Amino acid sequence: MSIVKLLGVSISGEHIYLVYEFVQGSDLGLCLRNKMNPHFTVLSTWMSRMQIATDVAHGLDYIHNTAGLSIDMVHKHVKSSGIIVTEPSFNAKICHFGAAELCGETREDGPQAAAAAERQFEGVRGYMSPEFKATGVATQKSDVYAFGVVILELMTGTEPVRYKFDRSSGNHRLISVIETAREAVEGGGEEGVEGRLRRWTDKRLRDSFRWTWRRS
């Protein structure tokens, strides 16, 4: 199973303690962005990254469709730092499943619930869908949107949002990996779409993939 298992819960006063199984490995964000050696990654091949994407997809499918519960389960915290890459197999496991419900992050309606949800998710900037940012209500669709951002991270190795220097203004501006993907697909220039996508993709993959571009 591509999910870190929740083993137990303990409540003491106002505190809730969650006990999960121990998984040997590092989170996906660290595997992609090693601050000590930014030119190195253990996920150096296209197949290794697609394996991660496949494992996360299976985990989300289980949460959304086969968890055995009568309600539509939502993870709410899908992000690269919440995905463990196991050692030595380099498979992926989703962390924190069930934490939102057990810690009281209920999916209530109304403006107060929306405001509370917005406060709770300030720390996952870059993964929130437009609908989630507008309503403060997480859904299975917003989980899938966040998973899409993780896939773009796997393709580029970059953070979901980062500061980029704007030469025209002389200032730094915040740019998302979604924006850079859109620029690679829709931008101009003589190199064409395949050239822009090749430049956009993580250089550390060293062309361990074949490009076939089709516009749908």
Flag whether 214 is in a domain.
no
- 120-166 pLDDT, tens digit each: 444 378 999 999 988 888 899 999 999 999 999 999 999 999 888 78
- Are residues 196 and 184 in contact, defined by beta-carbon separation less than 8 angstroms? yes
Q: Are residues 138 and 31 in the same domain?
A: yes
- Same domain? For 128 and 194 the reply is no
Once rounded to an integer, what is the mean pLDDT over residues 41-55? Answer: 96
- Asked, for residue 213, whether it belongs to a domain, the answer is no
Count of beta carbons in the 10 Å neighbourhood of residue 172: 11
Mark whether 147 and 190 lie in a shared domain. Answer: no
Residue 18 has pLDDT above 60, yes or no: yes
1 within domain boundaries: no
pLDDT attached to residue 142: 94
Give the Cα separation of 7 and 21 in Å (integer). Answer: 6
CATH number of the structural domain spanning residue 133: 1.10.510.10
Q: What's the domain count of the chain?
A: 2
Q: Would 38 be classed as within a structural domain?
A: yes
Within 10 angstroms of residue 133's Cβ, the number of other Cβ atoms is: 12
Same-domain check for residues 127 and 166 = no
Q: Are 82 and 29 a contacting pair, CB within 8 Å?
A: no
Residue 166 domain flag: yes
Judgement on whether residues 59 and 136 belong to the same structural domain of the protein: yes
Query: Are 170 and 80 contained in the same domain?
Result: no
| CA dist., res. 57 & res. 55, Å (int) | 5
- Asked whether residue 188 falls in the same domain as residue 103, the answer is no
Residues 77 and 138: their CA atoms lie apart, in Å, by: 10
Place of tokens 């550390």: 204
pLDDT at residue 154, as a whole number? 98
- Is the predicted pLDDT of residue 101 greater than 80, yes or no? no
Which residues are registered as beta bridge partners of 20?
6
Tokens of 163: 């500061």
Tens of pLDDT, residue by residue over 166-191, are 878 888 888 999 999 999 999 877 77
- Neighbour-count burial of 17, counting CB atoms closer than 10 A to its CB (0-12 exposed, 13-18 middle, 19+ buried): exposed
176 and 147 share one domain: no
Same domain, 184 and 83: no
Most confident segment among 99-103, 139-143, 194-198: 139-143
Kindly report the average pLDDT of the chain as a whole number: 85
For residues 77 and 173, state if they share a domain.
no
Angle at 97 between CA 93 and CA 101, to 5 degrees: 175
In this structure, is residue 64 part of a structural domain? yes
Short-list 154, 149, 142, 95, CA closest to 126: 149
Q: Is residue 215 part of a domain?
A: no
Residue 148 within any structural domain of the chain: yes
Cα–Cα nearest to 45, from 204, 158, 159: 204
Over range 64-93, report the average pLDDT.
88
Question: Over 80: is that where the pLDDT of 115 sits?
Answer: no
83-86 β-sheet, strand order: 25-27, 83-86, 92-94
Shared domain for 138 and 176, answered yes or no, is no
Distance between CA atoms of residues 18 and 114, nearest Å: 25
Structural contact between residues 79 and 41, judged by C-beta atoms closer than 8 angstroms:
no
Q: Which domain holds residue 200?
A: 161-205
Strand, helix or coil for residue 71: coil
Amino acid of residue 31: C
Average pLDDT in the 65-70 region?
72
Backbone dihedral region for residue 5 (phi beyond 0: left; psi -120 to 50: alpha; all else: beta): beta
Average the pLDDT over each of 53-67, 70-84, 90-104 and give the range with the smallest value.
Answer: 90-104
